Amino acid sequence: MNPSDEKLWATLVHVGGIFFNFLAALIGYLVLKDRGPFVRSHTATALNFQLTMLIAEVVGWLTSWLIIGFFIVAAVYIVRLVFSIIAAIKANQGQWYQYPLSIKFVS
Domain range enclosing 32: 3-92
Per-residue pLDDT of 78-95, as tens digits, reads 999 999 999 999 999 999
Q: Is the pLDDT of residue 27 over 90?
A: yes
Within a domain: 43: yes
Instruction: Please tell me the predicted confidence (pLDDT) of residue 80.
Output: 97
Within a domain: 100: no
For residue 107, name the pLDDT band (cuts at 50, 70, 90).
confident
For the chain, how many structural domains are there in total?
1
Within a domain: 104: no
Judge contact between 58 and 21, C-beta under 8 A: no
Within a domain: 75: yes
Q: Is the pLDDT of residue 77 over 90?
A: yes
Sequence-distant (≥ 6) Cβ neighbours of residue 50 within 8 angstroms: 17, 21, 22, 24, 25, 26, 80
Instruction: Please tell me the predicted confidence (pLDDT) of residue 101.
Output: 86
Judge contact between 65 and 81, C-beta under 8 A: no
Mean pLDDT of the chain: 95
**What does the pLDDT average to over 22-33?**
95
Q: Is the pLDDT of residue 39 over 90?
A: yes
Within a domain: 98: no
Instruction: Please tell me the predicted confidence (pLDDT) of residue 59.
Output: 96
Within a domain: 25: yes
